[in-house]
Amino acid sequence: MSIIAILGRQPELSLAELEQRFGSDSVYTFSDIAGLVETEAFDIQTLGGTVKAGKVIAELDKADWPRLSRDIVQRYSKELRGEGKLTLGISVYGKTIAARDIQRTGLALKQALKKNGRSVRLIPNDGTALSTATSHHNKLGLASNKLEIMIVYGRSSVIIAESTGTQNISALAARDQGRPKRDAFVGMLPPKLALMMINLSGITIEQQQSRSVVSAEDNKGEVQPEELAPRSEALSSDEHNRKGDQNRHTLLDPFCGTGVVLQEAALLGFNVYGSDLAEKMVDYSQQNLDWLAAKHTIGTVKIEPGDAIEHTWQPPIDAIVAETYLGQPFSAPPAPDKLDKVKRIVDHITSKFLENLASQIDSGTLICLAVPAWRDVRGNFTHLSTIKNLESLGYEWQTLKNVDVKNLIYYREDQVVGRKLLLLVKN
């Protein structure tokens, strides 16, 4: 089955995530904002960087909108004939079409269906494409009578697809805001980025399902489980879960902070292992994971204090995903000497950590680290010197087909400290 994936705010990161998750042979760049994935097992809730996805119905030669619009009305007025009320949305990606023109297509389809006795609730377009929030709140793509037709313009063709759902923004927000311990100073990772980083490491749920595991939900907490993590059936089967924690892969975060990576990894079905220099953070992570475990059946959780420069972690460690020490936060670009000082401290911690880690993990262990990259007023980044020494520290860059793996940086326009993502493998 072909899936068209609408990529998030930083499309190259989202595409890299898809490639790591589904393999280079199954992921293609379709346009600047969309990727194509060949898979039978696509679950958007296990991805951080894809905002909407649809099953590809047809790939056509590029045509102007009136022509495509006619095709769509013709095709779907036949296809959707039948009983029961239909909720319908239409989204166009990759080309600017006036919202009212898209609305007109919807109304034409609505009329054609009405003639055949089927009533339609047409979702008004808030833009060329329905926003993730609109599609999510109307549950488009989640039932046969809630359809979102997606028209995605690519470089040389147009894809017609039917949405299979959007990223569950309310579940992500509930996980972010609902947990008991938060700490603005350490700079908590958004859950979406944590999820993306876990996938970017290259460790996949499929690999671990071959070791027979998945997570399940327990229906105990005050936050509705569906608000927290409505994953696919594959991830909510208690039956699999009971097969035991020893079958799960273990993911280590040696700079765990408040435990966002651990939380997302536990929900994906990994055993999680965290450490942090600060006792307070160890306590915060523990409390946040306890909170999660009260609502979901998760694997083992181990959290301990430790300086990543010299700590000895207990095996097994199957993957390392961490947002390492970022240095002090800045609200404006620092003066060069200040930046130089901070960079030197962070370089020291990062390189010593990597050296320590290399002596403890197996060759082939997969790693995704977010390290700081400082942005100046012109938008240029200053990078850690450690990045040039990764090979001598015992690591290699992973390789990707669709994006330049050495150029992945997560940042917001208003941020001075961006996060450079290092996708590595131990030599």
Ligand X SMILES: C[S@@+](CC[C@H](N)C(=O)[O-])C[C@H]1O[C@@H](n2cnc3c(N)ncnc32)[C@H](O)[C@@H]1O
Q: Does the footprint of ligand X cover residue 37 (CB under 6 A)?
A: no
Strand runs labelled E in 97-229: 120-122, 146-153, 157-166, 216-217
Q: In whole angstroms, how close is the CB of 258 to ligand X at the nearest point? A: 3
Q: In whole angstroms, how close is the CB of 56 to ligand X at the nearest point? A: 36
**Going residue by residue from 342 to 361, which x/- string records binding to ligand X, judged by CB under 6 A?**
-------x------------
Q: Does the footprint of ligand X cover residue 308 (CB under 6 A)?
A: yes
Q: Does the footprint of ligand X cover residue 325 (CB under 6 A)?
A: yes
Contact assessment for residue 50 and residue 6, using Cβ atoms and an 8 Å cutoff: yes
Q: Does the footprint of ligand X cover residue 186 (CB under 6 A)?
A: yes
39 SS3 class: coil
- Centre a 10 Å sphere on the Cβ of residue 383 and count the other Cβ atoms it contains: 16
How many residues of this chain bind ligand X (CB under 6 A)?
21
Which run of H or E residues covers position 230?
A: none
Q: Which residue, 31 or 286, is less far from ligand X as judged by CB?
A: 286
**Interacting residue with ligand X among 42, 65, 255, 313 (CB under 6 A):** 255
* Residue nearest ligand X, CB atom distance: 257
Q: Which residue, 200 or 349, is less far from ligand X as judged by CB?
A: 349
CA distances from 52 to 87, 114, 142, 403, 414 (A): 17, 28, 12, 20, 25
Q: Which stretch binds ligand X (CB under 6 A): 78-86, 123-131, 237-245, 270-278?
A: 270-278
Contact assessment for residue 391 and residue 352, using Cβ atoms and an 8 Å cutoff: no
Q: Which residue, 35 or 274, is less far from ligand X as judged by CB?
A: 274
Residues 97-116 that bind ligand X (CB under 6 A): none
Q: Does the footprint of ligand X cover residue 169 (CB under 6 A)?
A: no
**Interacting residue with ligand X among 101, 176, 218, 307 (CB under 6 A):** 307
Could you give the CA distance from residue 35 to residue 12 in angstroms, rounded to a whole number?
10
Q: Which residue, 59 or 411, is less far from ligand X as judged by CB?
A: 411
Dump the DSSP string for 175-189. Answer: HHHHSS---TTT-PP
Name the phi and psi angles at 420, rounded to 5.
-80, 130
Q: Which stretch binds ligand X (CB under 6 A): 38-46, 90-98, 255-263, 361-369?
A: 255-263
Q: Which stretch binds ligand X (CB under 6 A): 19-27, 251-259, 292-300, 390-398?
A: 251-259
CA distances from 111 to 73, 84, 118 (A): 10, 15, 9
Q: Tokens for 3? A: 């899936």
Could you give the CA distance from residue 323 to residue 37 in angstroms, rounded to a whole number?
28
Q: Does the footprint of ligand X cover residue 188 (CB under 6 A)?
A: yes
Could you give the CA distance from residue 161 to residue 256 in angstroms, rounded to a whole number?
39
Q: Which residue, 308 or 317, is less far from ligand X as judged by CB?
A: 308
Q: In whole angstroms, how close is the CB of 132 to ligand X at the nearest point? A: 23
Q: Does the footprint of ligand X cover residue 189 (CB under 6 A)?
A: yes
Query: How many CA atoms lie within 13 Å of 373's alpha carbon, on the beta-carbon side?
Result: 19
Q: Does the footprint of ligand X cover residue 257 (CB under 6 A)?
A: yes
Q: In whole angstroms, how close is the CB of 191 to ligand X at the nearest point? A: 9
Name the phi and psi angles at 211, rounded to 5.
-95, 15
Q: Which residue, 213 or 421, is less far from ligand X as judged by CB?
A: 421
Could you give the CA distance from residue 51 to residue 140 in angstroms, rounded to a whole number?
13
- Nearest Cα neighbor of 427 from 400, 386, 389, 390 is 390
**Interacting residue with ligand X among 187, 221, 230, 333 (CB under 6 A):** 187
Residues lying near ligand X in the complex (CB under 6 A) are found at 186-189, 254-255, 257-258, 260-261, 276-278, 281, 307-309, 323, 325-326, 349
